[in-house]
Amino acid sequence: TQLLEQSPQFLSIQEGENLTVYCNSSSVFSSLQWYRQEPGEGPVLLVTVVTGGEVKKLKRLTFQFGDARKDSSLHITAAQPGDTGLYLCRLSDNFNKFYFGSGTKLNVKP
Amino acid sequence: NAGVTQTPKFQVLKTGQSMTLQCAQDMNHEYMSWYRQDPGMGLRLIHYSVGAGITDQGEVPNGYNVSRSTTEDFPLRLLSAAPSQTSVYFCASWDGAFGNTEAFFGQGTRLTVV
């Protein structure tokens, strides 16, 4: 069962462009996390969103949790090559299982 | 502070061989999980544990066994390796049952089954 759908699957942009990636579920969840994974490494936590409608900013990254707590978005302003990586969302099904979405692979070209 | 340590980093197996991927964490986390990541894809949950002596299946458990005799260690056993198990395996640990706790990952084990 795929609890989380991420889109787009791949994104290749030029440095300086803006982008948004999405994480959607058919279920309501209590919280959601975004991770970034660089080649050859494990994922690293970027942010956790908990409250419906919540917006969090991390430098050029803006994370939003949908009002109904079934979706989330990550917006990057003025992308840089250092933003290149695989962006993953993660949630719990409230039964001790933690799932990841399929990921968005971002490539920012200089 | 070592965090989550996985060994080996690379492994090549022949079809039918068995092996154990090791995972150890030094953060006294109750929760540990194994994921596999196929090229260009996200992580799929294989098995997880909510504490010593307690394990359960994830999305793709077939062909894998786990045990959790201590809080620190969570080994993953491949019983009879198959080419379909070629993947990168990640172990993760975190503290608590809530979805808002940070998961810490090892650097992965790249497994090739020929």
Give contacts of B108 with chain A, Cβ < 8 Å. Answer: 40-42
What pLDDT is recorded for position B93?
94
pLDDT tens digits, chain B, 114 residues: what are they?
Answer: 679 999 999 999 999 999 999 999 999 999 999 999 998 778 999 999 999 999 999 989 999 999 999 999 999 999 999 999 999 999 999 987 666 788 999 999 999 999
Enumerate long-range contacts of B40-45, CB under 8 Å, 24 or more apart.
B40/A105, B41/A102, B41/A103, B42/A6, B42/A86, B42/A88, B42/A100, B42/A101, B42/A102, B42/A103, B43/A43, B43/A88, B43/A100, B43/B90, B44/A100, B45/A97, B45/A98, B45/A99, B45/A100
Residue of chain B nearest A92, judged by CA positions: B99
> Are the beta carbons of B99 and A90 separated by less than 8 Å?
yes
Residue of A nearest to B54 (CA): A96
The pLDDT assigned to A69 comes to 85
